Amino acid sequence: MSPEALTHTQPPVSEPADSQPVESGEFPRSVNWANPRVSAILETAAACFSKGGFTATTLADIGRELGLRKSIVHYYFASKAALVHEVQSFAYGRYLDALRQGLSEESRAQGGLKGLWRSLRDGKALRSLNIELWSEGRRDPELAARAGTLQDEARRLLAEHLTGHKGVTAAQANDFAILTLAVLDGLTVLADREGSDERAERAFETFLSLLERR
φ and ψ of 29, to 5 deg: -135, 135
CA torsion sign, 101 to 140 to 191 to 47? positive
Q: Considering CB under 8 A, how many residues would be counted as binding a second copy?
A: 46
Please report whether residue 56 would count as binding a second copy according to CB under 8 A.
Answer: yes
**Smallest separation, CB 37 to a second copy (Å):** 28
Segment interacting with a second copy (CB under 8 A) among 94-102, 111-119, 157-165, 195-203: 195-203
Segment interacting with a second copy (CB under 8 A) among 30-38, 96-104, 158-166, 197-205: 197-205
Segment interacting with a second copy (CB under 8 A) among 82-90, 116-124, 159-167, 205-213: 205-213
**Residue (108 or 213) nearer to a second copy, CB:** 213
Q: Contacts by 4-10 with C-beta closer than 8 Å and gap 24+?
A: 6/69, 6/71, 6/72, 6/75, 7/68, 7/69, 7/72, 10/71
Q: Which residues contact 204 (CB under 8 A, 6 or more apart)?
A: 116, 117, 183, 184, 187
3-state helix, strand, coil in the chain (%, to 5): 75, 0, 25
**Residue (156 or 202) nearer to a second copy, CB:** 202
Which residue(s) pair with 22 in the sheet?
29
Helix (H, G, I), strand (E, B) or coil at 29: strand
Segment interacting with a second copy (CB under 8 A) among 29-37, 40-48, 66-74, 178-186: 178-186
Q: Which residues bind a second copy (CB under 8 A)?
A: 50-53, 55-56, 128, 131-132, 134-139, 144, 147-148, 151, 175-176, 178-179, 181-187, 189-190, 192-194, 199-200, 202-203, 206-207, 209-211, 213-214
